[in-house]
């Protein structure tokens, strides 16, 4: 009797899920006929589909196009493997959370993976508290033997106050691509903080940060960068215009960078301040190749201070 009850319950769940995951908005999800997102309800529908525990039907791998500016999102989208075309439109977020992950969101998207991408999207608003870590997506992940995931031509104006690591565009770039993105929002965290990415293990290219990047006094203030807080991969053609403040390993481009990382054709214009290990381009390096980089901003510190590199 018990097994029949469980089977009956699963059938109900499957039936409800099948109905709830059939998209209600226009389009077929192809590149030429994307799902059209017109309002907040459509974002909620997409969010629910990426968070359900029984993903029997997956329509979230298709193409989506944002058709109007949307206010105010309080619950982000889960793990996304499709193609989200922002169409130059804006989503305003207001994400407050005490626990991670729970049913809360550290960013507008929890992740972009499986070859998925986000492009031409503007995100405004506020992300605060323990799990708030990024303006656009918590992490970009390229899995083994899968296409590269990425964020392209996106702008974050999000103000981020985090009790952990934080990045203006993404918290973690894990073998993905972040290209031609701009962060204008202020980013405050404990350590490993970046205007574009808190941690970079992929490719950061042609990105700009104008926001103020700050480590709170409550933490070590370690690895704070205008573009990336901690990098083990490539950063190229990036510009930092924002102030960067921390206590150790602080810089305008890559705060803490280790081999086989590379930093080339990057410029820092921002004011950089740290107690030690502070540089205009890199605060602390371990075998990193730094090529054709320029620092124009003031660099201030007490120990291991350099216009380009603080400590090698």
Q: How far apart are CA 273 and CA 247, in angstroms?
A: 8
The encoded tokens of residue 256 equal: 């803490």
Q: How far apart are CA 220 and CA 24, in angstroms?
A: 48
> pLDDT tier at 60 (50, 70, 90 boundaries)?
confident
DSSP strand pairing (267-268 vs 309-311)? unpaired
Q: How far apart are CA 33 and CA 26, in angstroms?
A: 9
With 0.75 as the threshold, say if the pTM is over it: yes
Q: What is the mean pLDDT of residues 135-161?
A: 93
Q: How far apart are CA 159 and CA 133, in angstroms?
A: 10
Q: How far apart are CA 88 and CA 94, in angstroms?
A: 20
The DSSP bridge partners found for residue 248 are: 222, 276
How do residues 195-216 score in pLDDT, each as one tens digit? Answer: 999 999 999 999 999 999 999 8
How do residues 222-272 score in pLDDT, each as one tens digit? Answer: 899 999 999 999 999 999 999 999 999 999 999 999 888 999 999 999 999
Q: How far apart are CA 41 and CA 37, in angstroms?
A: 9
- Domains of the chain listed by start with CATH number: 2-311 (2.160.20.110)
Q: How far apart are CA 129 and CA 159, in angstroms?
A: 12
């Amino acid at each position: 009797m018990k097994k029949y009850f469980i089977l009956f319950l699963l059938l109900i769940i499957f039936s409800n899920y099948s109905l709830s995951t059939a998209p209600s908005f226009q389009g077929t999800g192809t590149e030429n006929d994307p799902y059209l997102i017109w309002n907040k309800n459509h974002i909620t529908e997409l969010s629910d589909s990426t968070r359900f525990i029984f993903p029997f039907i997956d329509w979230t791998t298709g193409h989506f196009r944002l058709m109007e500016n949307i206010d105010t999102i309080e619950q982000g989208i889960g793990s996304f493997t499709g193609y989200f075309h922002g169409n130059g439109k804006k989503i305003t977020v207001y994400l407050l959370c005490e626990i991670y992950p729970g049913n809360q969101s550290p960013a507008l998207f929890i992740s972009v993976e499986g070859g998925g991408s986000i492009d031409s999207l503007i995100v405004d608003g506020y992300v605060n508290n323990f799990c708030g870590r990024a303006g656009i997506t918590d992490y970009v992940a390229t899995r083994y033997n899968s296409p590269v995931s990425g964020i392209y031509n996106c702008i974050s104006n999000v103000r981020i106050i985090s009790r952990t690591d934080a990045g203006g565009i993404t918290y973690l770039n894990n073998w993905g691509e972040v290209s031609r993105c701009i962060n204008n929002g202020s980013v405050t965290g404990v350590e490993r903080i970046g205007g574009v990415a808190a941690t970079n293990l992929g490719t950061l290219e042609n990105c700009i940060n104008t926001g103020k990047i700050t480590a709170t006094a409550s933490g070590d203030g370690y690895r704070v960068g205008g573009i990336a807080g901690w990098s083990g991969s490539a950063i190229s053609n990036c510009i930092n215009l924002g102030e960067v403040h921390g206590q150790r390993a602080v810089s305008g481009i890559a705060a803490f960078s280790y081999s086989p990382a590379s930093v080339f054709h990057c410029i820092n214009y921002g004011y950089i301040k740290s107690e030690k290990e502070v540089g205009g381009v890199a605060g602390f390096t371990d075998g990193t190749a730094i090529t054709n980089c320029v620092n124009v901003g003031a660099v201030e510190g007490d120990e291991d201070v350099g216009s380009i590199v603080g400590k090698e």
